[in-house]
Amino acid sequence: MTSDHGADQGGPGFDAVLRSDRLRAKLTQDELAARAGVGVRTVRDLERGRASRPQRTTVELLAAALGLAGADRLAFLAAARGQSSGAPAEPRFVRLPPAADLIGRDGDVAELLARLSQPRDDGPRGITLVGLAGVGKTSLALTVAHRVAPAHPGGVAGIVVTDGSTSGEVLGGVAAVFGVGRPDDLVPRFAGRSALLLVDAVERASDAVAEALTRLLRQHPTLRFLATGRHPVGLPTERVWPVSPLVVPPAETGPALADVAGYPAVALFLDRLARVRGAPIEPDEVAPLVALVRRLGGLPIALELAAARGRVLTVAEILDRYGDRVLDLSGRPAPGGVVSVRDAVAASYRLLPADEQRALHRLATFRNRWSLELAEAVIEDGRSTDAVHLLDRLLELGLLSARGARALRFRLLDVVGDYALERAAAVGDLQAARRRHAEVMADLVQAIAPELNGARLAEAAARLDDVAGDLGAALTFAAQEQPHIALRIAAVLPRWWRFRGRDVTGRQWLRRLLADPRTADADLAVRAWAKVGLAQLALEHGSGAEEIGSAEAALADFSALGDVPGQLTAHTQLAALWMTIRGYDRARQHGVAALTLARGSNRVRDMAVAANNLTWHEIREGDLAGARVRLAEVDRLASRCGEHRLRAVAAANLAEVERLDGRFDEAARLGRDAIAELEDVGDPGHRRRVLATVGLALAGGGRVEEAAAVLAELRAPETAEAADGPAAIVEAAIALRRGERRRAAEFFAAAAAAYDGAHDPRDTVEALVGLVLSTPDPDHRREAVGRLRELCRPGGITLMPGERELLGPELTRQVESSE
């Protein structure tokens, strides 16, 4: 590509160069021939362009006769080589082609235009676009060069560097594309006007390019350059511009083509696909299309190579064949030598020394974005690799992306990570890399875990959310190869798993790891925490009774170790577990033990937790006044330790107390306040319970339409659960209030079934009371009364005054009777 506003677009050949150098030396053709010891006809034919095969000896004699040295001599020789045969070999420099259609780079183009259009004193002398082969550096550079031409009246021209070029050859090539015979002739050519030189593929002769550009920038203060390469030129006046892959649709993008077509990666793929197939994208191809471009990482060469398969494959088939082997995508050999995605990545990978390649293997084990601290941890192994230098180097090569302002987060391009892991496996480094990654994840979760039990729960959970993919990868690898590391990770995650609704998955991990004979000799405290975590997670999905033995064993281990936090956790879990099998006295004993231990060790937060848990027993016995006093104590203790979530839970429990006491409006108000607090700390499990409290209070107070709005929220797809007791009991209460007794009976029965075996049997009691009131079937009523009696009498659960009033004296007597 050349654009110099009137210059000879063809550029000079050797004839023009020879004539220019002869005239500059003030020699006639006869004088030059005599000095060189060649025939005058040879000089005449060369200047007329008639001699197409100048001998190298002749050219060198002429250069000596002209007194050429250094870069001028090299430029003279380079010009002669351009005419060395009738069927010339690949020239050292070729003019760049016109700009092609560019998709998805509007932001880069605009900013580059702004920088290169600024006055020279304000803008950079040069900008180098760096990145993987096939990322689109040349296309971007060509587009910018064409559009910025009006700002450079001295001309815009470009060269493609070829392997093995010397600095003199670079200078000669630059002179040629700007239409002059010698580099020194550029001074009058520019005449003080701004000019731009585009240099493509600087990595092919980086030292020569650096030397040539240094000279050009020094001699021509109005000249700027725009370069492309897999690495920067390395000049102090250079601005490095990493070219990233195109933006892909996020995971939550809508399902329609209109929702994704505007993303640059999709736009490029669709454009290239349209060139090989006539049919448009079908609606059922949109989902695989999004999955494919995300898997390809937005890398243009990968998108184009994949789209080329559209001649014989559907989008879903392309995804199925290449989604797990993006590196294998290949095509016809390109001028730059890149024929596959693997070649593109390998070319940049080879620029790294062995120690940086090894560090890259370790960074490739990360699934999510990572911090500098995590990078340092994963590559730290007693060697001298500097993480800051390494990340800067990877950014400089365009292999890495960075986000954020004050605290940067990094991520390798997907194909770079794939290739690095492939190379790690090839050199026998993959196992060590994954082990180090698992160790770093274990250290990270153990550092975060203590905050999961305090006022910073939501923040700590969010930090774990950020590395969720890495935790899964570390657990999967370590469970197979390093089970002790896997157990260290899993043992501290139960509270996070529970907080995020992943109790079943977490329990499966813990059971598998505790049962693995290779962990039998693991640290006693680690195994104890795993056991109590197993019980905690089982409790969440109604299987707590199965894990009482695990919690008892954990308590014994913690007691032997003198581990007070462990003992408190075990007592708390056992208090809840015993309730699931109606061992209410045992449950209360563990609750009291936890409160006593917390007071003895002056652990304010644990005192608040234990007091909150004991509140249920006041409610069980019908002592609502005592429950209010207990909850006031919880609020006071939680305030002392800054535990906002616990204060919200206590407020939710107080709302339930007020509802049970028939104070429906107050219960609804307190419940809504608690919901707002729970939303701030991110606790979806407790929030659902409070929604049910509010819904029941509104229905009980006759505010049926408001209760229906709460029910709609409980039934929403994003919040609903499979065995949904809260939604069922609210729907039943609304139906009963509306006089729809059969519908009410149906949902009270569903609620009782959903609550059965859960850790709060009062929920089941309430559902059964509603079923007794609403069912028209005498047998069903009799059965519900029997179940109520089985729940209330052995466990000492007292019916609330409102429940007695609803049931009436006879049914109340049947429930409370010991017969």
pLDDT one-digit tens code per residue, 177-199: 888 888 888 989 998 899 999 99
pLDDT at 446 over 90: yes
3-state secondary structure of 443: helix
* Residue 789 φ/ψ, nearest 5 degrees: -60, -40
Mean pLDDT throughout 342-351? 90
The token pair at 603 is 């652990």
Give me 145's structure tokens: 């060069």
580 and 609 Cβ atoms separated by less than 8 Å:
no
Q: Does residue 375 or residue 337 have the better pLDDT? A: 375
DSSP3 helix / strand / coil % (the chain, rounded to 5): 65, 5, 30
The Cα 733–Cα 701 span in angstroms is: 11
Q: Is the pLDDT of residue 149 over 70?
A: yes
**CA torsion through residues 27, 31, 36, 39, sign:** positive
Q: How confident is the model at residue 506 (pLDDT cuts 50, 70, 90)?
A: very high
Please answer whether residues 300 and 280 qualify as being in contact, where contact means their C-beta atoms are separated by less than 8 angstroms: no
Residue 699's pLDDT is what?
Answer: 93
Contact 200, 160 (CB under 8 A): yes
pTM for this entry: 0.71
Q: Considering only CA atoms, which of 635, 640, 570 is closest in space to residue 604?
A: 640
The answer to whether residue 92 scores a pLDDT higher than 80 is no
Cα–Cα–Cα angle for 686, 690, 694, rounded to 5 degrees = 170
Q: Please give the average per-residue pLDDT across 598-627, as a whole number.
A: 91
User: Alpha-carbon distance 494 to 344, whole Å?
Assistant: 43
**Mean pLDDT of the region 7-15:** 51
Is pLDDT larger for residue 266 or for residue 85? 266
Taking only the tens place, the pLDDT of each residue in 34-52 is 887 788 888 888 887 776 5
4-14 b/e with 16+ CB inside 10 Å = b? beebeeebbeb
Report pLDDT for 27: 86
As a whole number, the mean pLDDT across the chain is: 86
CA atoms in the 13 A half-sphere facing the CB of 472: 10
451, 441, 532, 517: which is closest to 483 by C-alpha?
517
pLDDT tens by residue, 698-757: 999 999 999 999 999 888 765 444 457 899 999 999 999 999 999 999 999 999 998 886
Residue 223 is predicted with a pLDDT of 93
- 386-397, pLDDT tens digit by residue? 888 899 889 888
Closest to 424 in 3D by CA, of 515, 358, 473 = 358
The answer to whether 29 and 42 have CB atoms below 8 angstroms apart is no
pLDDT at position 53, please? 59
Structure letter (DSSP) for residue 717: T
pLDDT at 121 over 80: no
Q: What's the whole-number mean pLDDT along residues 540-547?
A: 84
Q: How far is CA 564 from CA 130, 525, 593, in A?
A: 56, 12, 12
90 pLDDT band, cuts 50/70/90, is: very low
pLDDT digits (tens, 9 = 90+) for 753-802: 988 866 678 889 999 999 999 999 889 889 999 999 888 877 678 889 88
Q: What is the pLDDT averaged over residues 10-23?
A: 72
Which pLDDT belongs to residue 566?
94
Distance CA 413, CA 300 (A): 13
- Helix/strand/coil for 30: helix
Judge whether residue 405 has pLDDT over 70: no
Two tokens, residue 154 = 């001295």
Q: How many CB atoms lie within 10 A of CB 384?
A: 5
